Each structure stands twice: as C-alpha cells, then as structure tokens.
Amino acid sequence: MDKVLWLNKLLWLITAVLAIIVIIGLAGLTTDTGTSGEQTGTDTITIATTPAVQVLQQNTSPTTVPVKTAYNRTLALFWNFALTGPYAANPDWSDAVLDPEPVTLFDVNGDPLFYEFYLENNGTVPGYFWTAADKRVGAGVFRIYESPPHADYARIARTAETLVNAGYPGWEVIAEKPGLYGSGYPYLCTFVTVQNTTNAVRETIVVDAYTNRTVPIRPTEGSPGYAESYLDAIPPGDQPGQVARWESDYSPAEKIVTYALAHGIDPARPLSEQNTSVITAYYATEPEDPAVGSNNTSPDESE
C-alpha cells in the first residue's frame, strides 16, 4: 500500500512540473509585444522611414487616365490620320496596327504623365504617339511622330545605371523608370531609385536621357535648374479647365471607337484589310476630331 501511495505522489509531482512548464511557455507567447519576426539582441536592424529625398513611386491620382481609355483615344486619332488625314497616302500607316501596350512615361511627382503608343507594320514602327496619361494635360494626344522612336529605353536605363553606380558608391540601384521632367516641353530622363547599403535610406536620381547628366530634384545653391514636375507646374486654378478639355476631347473619340467595333472593325488588323468605309462614313457626319490640326498634335517633322 505504501509503495502504491508513493508512486501516486510521484506521478502527481511530475504532472505538476509539466503543467508549470506549459504555463510558463504560454505566458511567454501571450506577452509578446509585437517583435515577432524582428531581429533582437545586440545586432539591430535600422530601417529608414524618412528618406533624405522623396522616392519616386508609381502613384494613381483621380485624374490618371487608364491605359485602355488612352488606347481608345489614340486609336481614334490614328484612324483619322491614316484614312482621311495627313497620312492617308502613307501605306506604312494604313497597313499598320496600333499596339495596345504602351510604355509609360512618369512625371517627377510619380504620376503617369504620357503613354507612348507604337504603330507596328511587319516588324517596323512607322510612327508613335504621346497620349496623355493624366487629364490635367488637357489634350488627349500630346504629340504624333511619323518616324520610328529614337529613344531606346533599355539602353538609356543601362547608361543611367552605370552613371549612378559610378557616382554613388555604397548605394544599390533598386528601380528605374522612364520619365519626363520640366514644366514646358518636357525632357526625357530616367528616374533611378537607389538604396544605401548601410542604413537603407532611399533616394531618387534624375538622369537626363541625352546629356547623361544628373539633374537636381530640387533647387540647390549654385544650381537653380532642377527637375521640375510637369503636372505640379500646372496652376491649381487651371487644372479643372484642363480636365474639362480632356473630357471634351475624349468624348467623340469614344463614340467612333464604339461605333467601329460594333460594325466589325478589328483594331488588331490593319485598316487596309478591313471595310474602312464604316469609319470614313462616320467621320463624314461628325465634327472633326479636335486633335486634328492642333498645334500640340501636329505631326512632328523635326526628328
């Protein structure tokens, strides 16, 4: 009997010890203050939350134009120019197709500024468009080029990265975006985002695409010139009028694209292979596209 009693006491003692261990473990979990996943101890990691220079990010403002909407605007103007406009006699255009996937050119403030849409014709690019990516630009299509694009964005980005790597030792390039700076006629550039390998601070560096020089992102002593934002330079009082102009510019374009698609026109096929009388008949009864003849969208013959 004494032996059985002793064994029972031993089992009770072992159970009590195990219960205490479990309680201590649970207490350790429930008192965690949110440091799970962080490195603790003497080796700490510092993450910068306030970069020295504002990092360019891809923003979306209420006035950003969706790519599909910009494509329709460009498509309507392409049809007009290729069928009844200044390029009607140019088979490079009438046999071309508008690529629905553009290159996005960003503003200094991070907003999309223009979409660069390309015409494709048997492996060649006979022309391209700068279409507004923001309604504050005003015009639906900012510029038309009757030539292949001169900007090789991959090469420009590589050149910018090489320049930044040489000028910023101890910094790592983590992102590049093609863009534009300047409040007048914008200049092509690359926005290069770098991160300090020691403290994780990030900065954005503007590299001009043609001079291959860095441009200050804000005025500095002895260097008043800087990479000004095209969109931010539009006076706030003028912006509602610019947006209204864009809306007015887009309305007829949306109508012709909707009409053409409903009557069997396929944007993925060249106009020369389709019944383009559907489009020309429509244009004959509608007001002229407001972009045709505009100073902003006249064909660029300077390149």
Distance in angstroms (rounded) separating the CA atoms of residues 124 and 4:
96
DSSP summary character for residue 247? H
| pLDDT beneath 70, residues of the chain | 1-60, 219-224, 287-303
Contacts with 134 (C-beta within 8 Å, 6 or more apart), sequence order: 61, 63, 64, 65, 107, 111, 112, 113, 231
Answer whether 74's CB lies under 8 Å from 80's CB: no
Closest CA to 121 of 143, 91, 164: 91
What pLDDT, on a 0 to 100 scale, did the predictor assign at position 290? 56
Q: Mind listing the pLDDT tens digit for each residue in 5-23?
A: 444 544 444 455 444 443 4
What pLDDT, on a 0 to 100 scale, did the predictor assign at position 284? 80
HSE-up (13 A, CA, CB side) for residue 236 = 0
Cα 139 off chain centre by:
19
Tell me the two tokens of residue 139. Answer: 């015009």
Residue type, 3: K
Distance in angstroms (rounded) separating the CA atoms of residues 100 and 268:
9
**In Å, how far are 128, 162, 190, 218 from 181, measured between CA atoms?**
20, 20, 10, 12
Closest CA to 131 of 217, 215, 65: 65
| Beta carbons within 10 angstroms of residue 90's beta carbon | 15
DSSP summary character for residue 270? -
What pLDDT, on a 0 to 100 scale, did the predictor assign at position 6? 44
Answer whether 111's CB lies under 8 Å from 137's CB: no
